[in-house]
Amino acid sequence: MTSGWIALLDDLATLTKVAASSLDDAAGQAAKAGSKAAGIVIDDAAVTPRYVVGLSADRELPIIAKIAVGSLKNKMLLLLPGALLLSFFAPWAITPLLMAGGAFLCLEGYHKVMDLVRPGHGDHAEATPGAQSAEELEKQRVSSAIRTDFILSAEIMAITLASVATSPVWLQAAVLGVVGAGMTLLVYGAVAVIVKADDAGVALARQSHGILRALGRGIVLGMPVFLKGLSLIGMVAMLWVGGGILIHGLHELGMHGPEEAVHHAAELVAGIIPTVRAFLTWLVGAGISGVLGVIVGALVDPLANHVLIPAFQVLKKRLGRKSAA
Reported as a single tens digit per residue, the pLDDT across 136-188 is 888 888 887 887 778 778 878 887 887 777 778 888 888 888 888 888 888 88
CA distance 59 to 70: 17
> If we measure between CA atoms, which residue out of 282, 254, 236 comes closest to residue 106?
236
Least confident of 46-60, 74-88, 192-206, 291-305: 46-60
CB-based contacts of 157, cutoff 8 Å, min separation 6: 75, 79, 80, 83, 176, 179, 180
169 neighbors 85 (Cβ within 8 angstroms): no
Reported as a single tens digit per residue, the pLDDT across 260-305 is 999 999 888 888 888 888 888 888 998 999 999 999 999 999 988 8
The 8 Å CB, 24+ separation contacts for 130-134 are 134/55, 134/56, 134/59
Residue 322 binned pLDDT confidence (cut-offs 50, 70, 90)? low
CA distance 197 to 45: 14
Please return the burial class of 2, using the count of CB atoms within 10 Å of its CB with bins 0-12, 13-18 and 19+: exposed
pLDDT for the residue 70: 92
